[in-house]
Amino acid sequence: MAIYQYTAPDGNKYRVNAPEGATDQQVYGLVLQNYPFAGQSTKELEEAKSAPSTLGDVGRTAKQSLAGGLQSLTNLFGADNAASQYLGEAQQSAFESMSPARKEEMARRQEVQ
């Protein structure tokens, strides 16, 4: 396996592992498999419809944000302490329980950044 770099039309660069001698099309296919929004421009991503807000997702987002903020504070006493690990798990649990539409929207925002 070799590491290939692909530059998307919007200038973002992606790295993927592919077999030696992979074609550009094969590399592009792997990029899209690993980074589904790589085929869209920044403008398309910014203009995509937002996920419908559900009360559950709002609560989970608040929990995730609160856990992340508290985790940053606990890391002042040493990264990966017991409290930090617990808060990291709480943050991950909140993310995993979000609706698929909300997860997709968050992934689009991450791609834009």
Span 77-99, average pLDDT: 82
At 1, the pLDDT band (50, 70, 90 cuts) reads confident
d(CA 43, CA 101) in angstroms, rounded, equals 19
Q: Report pTM.
A: 0.47
Tokens of 81: 């302490």
Q: Could you tell me the residue ranges of all domains in the chain?
A: 2-46, 49-112
Question: Alpha helix (H) ranges present in 1-49?
Answer: 24-34, 42-47
Q: Model confidence over 93-104: pLDDT tens digits? A: 888 888 888 877
Residue 90: what pLDDT? 83
Residue 81: what pLDDT? 84
Angle, CA 33 vertex, CA 32 and CA 35 arms, to 5°:
60
